[in-house]
């Protein structure tokens, strides 16, 4: 797993006619199709959080609008897959992003989850190896899970209803980009360059739309690693986009 480094600022949404409280099957279908495209035929590479976040960035999911995954999860929840569930399971965080944890509805079993939903499991779950991170995947249906490869949790029988492996099965309750009540993005708020996007030149801030922006406390040592470039550091800045 990689750590995610980004700035918090949520994308503006408006009300949608889709029924509140029901799954947005359009979002689920879009996420499944995109995740399958970049996972089918591959083996998991240990970067599940990175891949799933990029899939959501590409098509959106509920209140996490396309291109804004980086803006919706606070910094203390960026490192491990299980932290995606930890954040969404706290208070009204999931509802605020037009998402719902429906694990009880689906028998606490990833294999019963709807295609295109997002499953998060704890470390120690069958099929996982990292002793800390846990795992996150897009449900592909028919026993398939996508997260940069074709993930397996060893079959439905590994998940009796009373199991404690599953941390969440998340579905969108409103279709992106129409989640109501999401704070608008501050036009003056810059986004640090994300480590999850392809980098054409990691040593300088020269990709399209990139520029040097003020570093936290005017100290480039406070820049996220992905946003630290020598040319910007010389100006006490980070690389932003």
Which 3-state string (H, E, C) describes 103-154? CCCCCCCHHHCCCCCEEEECCCCCCCCCCCCCEEEEEEECCEEECCCEECCC
Q: Of 187 and 112, which is predicted with more confidence?
A: 112
The answer on pLDDT for 19 being more than 70 is: no
- Give pLDDT, residue 192: 58
Domains of the chain, with CATH numbers? 25-172 (3.90.1720.10), 190-241 (no CATH)
- The model's confidence at residue 130, banded by pLDDT at 50, 70 and 90, is very high
User: What are the start-end ranges of the H helices in the chain?
Assistant: 25-37, 48-59, 69-72, 82-88, 93-96, 230-233
Classify burial at 230, counting beta carbons within 10 Å of its beta carbon; exposed 0-12, middle 13-18, buried 19 or more: exposed
The answer to which of 34-48, 86-100, 175-189 has the lowest mean pLDDT is: 175-189
- Give pLDDT, residue 113: 98
Task: Using the structure block, give the residue that is written with the tokens 């040319």.
Answer: 231
The answer on pLDDT for 218 being more than 70 is: yes
Please name which of 13, 19, 27, 30 lies closest in space to residue 68, comparing C-alpha atoms.
Answer: 13
- The model's confidence at residue 70, banded by pLDDT at 50, 70 and 90, is confident
The answer on pLDDT for 67 being more than 90 is: no
Cβ neighbours, 10 Å, residue 151:
24
Distance between CA atoms of 145 and 35, rounded to whole angstroms? Answer: 9
- Give pLDDT, residue 17: 31
The answer on pLDDT for 14 being more than 60 is: no
Mean pLDDT, residues 188-204 = 53
Q: Of 162 and 214, which is predicted with more confidence?
A: 162
Mean pLDDT, residues 225-230 = 79
- The model's confidence at residue 138, banded by pLDDT at 50, 70 and 90, is very high
Q: Of 208 and 126, which is predicted with more confidence?
A: 126
Q: Of 229 and 88, which is predicted with more confidence?
A: 88
The answer on pLDDT for 147 being more than 90 is: yes
- Give pLDDT, residue 12: 26
């Amino acid at each position: 797993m990689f750590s995610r480094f980004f700035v918090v600022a949520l994308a503006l949404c408006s009300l949608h006619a889709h029924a509140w409280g029901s799954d947005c099957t359009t979002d689920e279908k879009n996420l499944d199709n995109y995740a399958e495209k970049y996972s089918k035929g591959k083996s998991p590479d240990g970067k599940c959080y990175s891949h799933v976040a990029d899939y959501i960035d590409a098509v959106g999911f509920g209140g996490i609008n396309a291109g804004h995954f980086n803006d919706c999860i606070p910094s203390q929840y960026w490192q491990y897959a299980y932290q995606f569930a930890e954040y969404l399971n706290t208070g009204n965080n999931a509802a605020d992003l037009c998402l719902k944890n429906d694990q009880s509805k689906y028998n606490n079993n990833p294999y019963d989850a709807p295609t295109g939903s997002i499953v998060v499991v704890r470390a120690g779950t069958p099929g996982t190896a990292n002793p800390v991170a846990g795992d996150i995947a897009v449900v592909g249906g028919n026993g398939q899970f996508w997260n940069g490869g074709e993930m397996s949790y060893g079959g439905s029988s590994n998940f009796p209803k009373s199991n404690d492996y599953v941390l969440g099965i998340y579905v969108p309750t409103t279709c992106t980009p129409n989640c109501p009540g999401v704070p608008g993005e501050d036009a003056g708020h810059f986004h640090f360059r994300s480590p999850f996007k392809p980098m054409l030149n990691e040593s300088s801030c020269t990709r399209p739309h990139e520029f040097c922006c003020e570093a936290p406390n005017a100290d480039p040592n406070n820049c996220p690693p992905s946003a630290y470039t020598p040319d910007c550091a010389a100006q006490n800045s980070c690389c932003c986009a």
